[in-house]
Amino acid sequence: MTYKELLANNEIVRKLATIQFLAYFGTWFSNVAIYSMLVSFGASPIIISLVVAMHFIPGILLAPFSGTIVDRIDAKKLLGILIITELLMTMCFLFINSIDDVWMLLIFIFIRMTASSMFFTTEMTLMPKLLNSAILTKTNEIHSIIWSFTFTAGMAIGGLVVNYYGAKTAFIIDGILFLCAFLSLLNTSIIYKHEASHEKILLSIKSGIRYISQNRHLISLIFFHGTVGLTSFDTIVTLLADYNYKYVIAVPLAIGLSNATRSLALMIGPFIIGRWITKEKLFYVFLFQGFGIITWAFLQYNFYLGLIGLFLTGLATTTLWSFTYALLQEKVEQKYLGRVLAYNEMFFMLINAGTTLFTGIMAIYYDLNIVTTFLGIFFIFTAFYYKNTIKSLDTLDKN
């Protein structure tokens, strides 16, 4: 089944895809405004990396609790609450006027990303309950393509809007997008058998951890999916725009075009690699990701050559994300899905946050191309670790 056929024939996939499109577009649209605003305030690399990391920290700290909440509350009600929370926090960005207000920005981002992280976990927990395994991977790929397209369009258009109309205009447009997502959700019928967990929260957290510890293969799958978090390049892109590219092009445009170029590859990648990928070939995708990042590191000295490098970094990322996520979803019992996927999200966000903080600190002492090379090398090591692990996964499937 093609992506077009799946969207045409499956109403719930189509409607959830519409909600994803609106919500994700708004997220990336306002991110350009946030990063451009920080540069205009004269923020240091550490402050920029802290703001970027704050996009991931809620998913780390609150994952045990968000997983139990997802397993307890009806999905449609929870999704509606979370979208409204994102809308309200986005409107609060309008109160940020100087570097002295960064502490408020961090609070608003923390709350918004708490809602965003839980929104994602709710959706990804809901999918296996609504869809059979035959189309689950394809649905994950559609999710990834939407993420990539909205990243492309959001960053590109957001860069233009911020450059010509200012950051606050971008925040207002962002709020409108979240409102449209909420109205679309109200018009969506989500019918499934909701088996709410009645365990106390602490007992529910413990049982989720016990389930993962008793199924060690899940730890490996969580690790492989989490490594995709190493492609969190927001800090590198922002610093390159501030340090190197502002003499060639305006900072908002440099950030927008750089992220749009990479995310264009994120969108195209599944069409090229998605039909070819198997568990055995995933090893080569990890390798390609690593060498793509290293290539970008050597091209960063020039803005236009850097765009070519960024394109290469994005070709394999979406396939890595969707394929490793589907491997995990298929290996988890439904009653534990919310908790396991929340812990997966926690680890993924931990890698994202660690990558951004690592970048901000290392950028003080080393050139950005060296920092970028380190990230590429890690993917190469991951590829060989995966190759050694796949045999145990195959044995598990046979059993």
**Domain extent listing, the chain:** 3-398
For residues 136 and 330, the answer to whether their CB atoms sit within 8 Å is: yes
Q: How far is it, in rounded angstroms, from Cα 129 to Cα 394?
A: 25
For residues 157 and 370, the answer to whether their CB atoms sit within 8 Å is: no
Domain 3-398 fold is Growth Hormone; Chain: A; (1.20.1250)
CA distances from 392 to 174, 322, 382 (A): 45, 21, 16
Q: What percentage of the chain carries pLDDT values higher than 70?
A: 92
State both tokens at 247: 């003499």
Q: How far is it, in rounded angstroms, from Cα 387 to Cα 395?
A: 14
Which DSSP symbol is given to 301?
T
For residues 353 and 273, the answer to whether their CB atoms sit within 8 Å is: no
Mean pLDDT calculated for residue range 211-234: 89
Reported as a pLDDT band with limits 50, 70 and 90, residue 299 is very high
Task: Provide CB contacts within 8 A for 277, sequence distance 6+.
Answer: 285, 319, 323
pLDDT above 60: residue 64: yes
Higher pLDDT, 73 or 379: 379
Output the CA torsion sign for 183, 185, 186, 187.
positive
End-to-end, the C-alpha distance of the chain in Å comes to: 29
For residues 190 and 312, the answer to whether their CB atoms sit within 8 Å is: no
Look at residue 57 and give its three-state secondary structure. Answer: helix
pLDDT of residue 389: 83
Mean pLDDT calculated for residue range 147-169: 79
Q: How far is it, in rounded angstroms, from Cα 299 to Cα 341?
A: 36
Q: How far is it, in rounded angstroms, from Cα 219 to Cα 15?
A: 32
Question: The tokens 């990648």 sit on which residue?
Answer: 269
For residues 137 and 320, the answer to whether their CB atoms sit within 8 Å is: no
pLDDT per residue as tens digits for the range 77-135: 888 999 999 999 999 999 998 889 999 999 999 999 888 888 877 887 777 777 776 67
Higher pLDDT, 48 or 376: 376
Which DSSP symbol is given to 345?
H
Q: How far is it, in rounded angstroms, from Cα 210 to Cα 192?
A: 27
Q: Is the pTM of this model over 0.75?
A: no
pLDDT of residue 221: 92
pLDDT of residue 369: 92
State both tokens at 89: 């926090």
Task: Provide CB contacts within 8 A for 107, sequence distance 6+.
Answer: none
Mean pLDDT calculated for residue range 372-383: 94
Higher pLDDT, 72 or 179: 179
For residues 185 and 126, the answer to whether their CB atoms sit within 8 Å is: no
Give the up-direction half-sphere exposure of residue 356: CA atoms within 13 A in the CB hemisphere. Answer: 24
Q: Minimal CA–CA distance to 287: which of 247, 327, 315?
A: 315
State both tokens at 274: 């998605």
User: E strand or H helix at 4, and its extent?
Assistant: helix 3-9
State both tokens at 270: 């599944």
Enumerate long-range contacts of 322-325, CB under 8 Å, 24 or more apart.
322/137, 322/140, 322/141, 322/143, 322/144, 322/270, 322/274, 323/137, 323/140, 323/277, 323/282, 323/285, 324/221, 324/224, 324/225, 324/228, 324/282, 325/124, 325/140, 325/225
Q: How far is it, in rounded angstroms, from Cα 206 to Cα 64?
A: 9
Instruction: Round the average pLDDT of the chain to a whole number and report it.
Output: 84
State both tokens at 295: 């290539």
pLDDT above 80: residue 328: yes
Q: Minimal CA–CA distance to 35: which of 93, 79, 77, 88?
A: 93
Which DSSP symbol is given to 227?
G
Higher pLDDT, 195 or 390: 390
Mean pLDDT calculated for residue range 179-200: 75
State both tokens at 190: 């989500």
For residues 67 and 339, the answer to whether their CB atoms sit within 8 Å is: yes
